[in-house]
Amino acid sequence: MNPNEIFTYPLECRTEKAKSAVKRYYCRFLENKCNKQSRTIDYPMGVCSVNYSKNKIIICPHRYLEDNLVFIEVCKNVFGSTDNTLLFSEVKLDNVGSFDFVLRQFNEEVQHLGLRRSYPKCLWRDDISNLIWKRGTG
């Protein structure tokens, strides 16, 4: 296993932007300094994805959430589209634990529960491709 991307750029990328990102430990997904601290080095690790066998595997949660692509693909595969979708973050259930994210298609049943108005961590849009993602806010 070896790095595929560091500080949001492919390892082989030698552009000035890529060099600057490495020098500043900059993550374009966070739009800030990378926050993945290593236990073995004194600066952020900066590895976004790795090469494993013939696959490229995302290991950074910020890279994984890029442009909500994961949520959009799940919506399309499960619901058929992103229309009328509710996205919740940090959902806690007593005696179960917590879920980082929950997607739910909006319908009369959900509307009856009043989740759109009362649930503090609901990130609502008719189409999540227009969502401005702020994890854990609400």
pLDDT digits 0-9 by tens, 86-135: 787 777 888 888 887 888 877 655 544 444 443 334 444 434 444 433 33
CA-CA distance, 117 to 48, in Å (whole number)? 36
Lowest mean per-residue pLDDT among 20-24, 69-73, 106-110, 128-132? 128-132
Specify the pLDDT at position 121.
42
Cα separations in angstroms, 73 against 65, 85, 106: 12, 12, 17
Helix or strand or coil: residue 2?
A: strand
CA-CA distance, 118 to 114, in Å (whole number)? 6
CA-CA distance, 86 to 129, in Å (whole number)? 12
pLDDT digits 0-9 by tens, 31-57: 999 998 888 888 888 999 999 998 998
Specify the pLDDT at position 89.
78
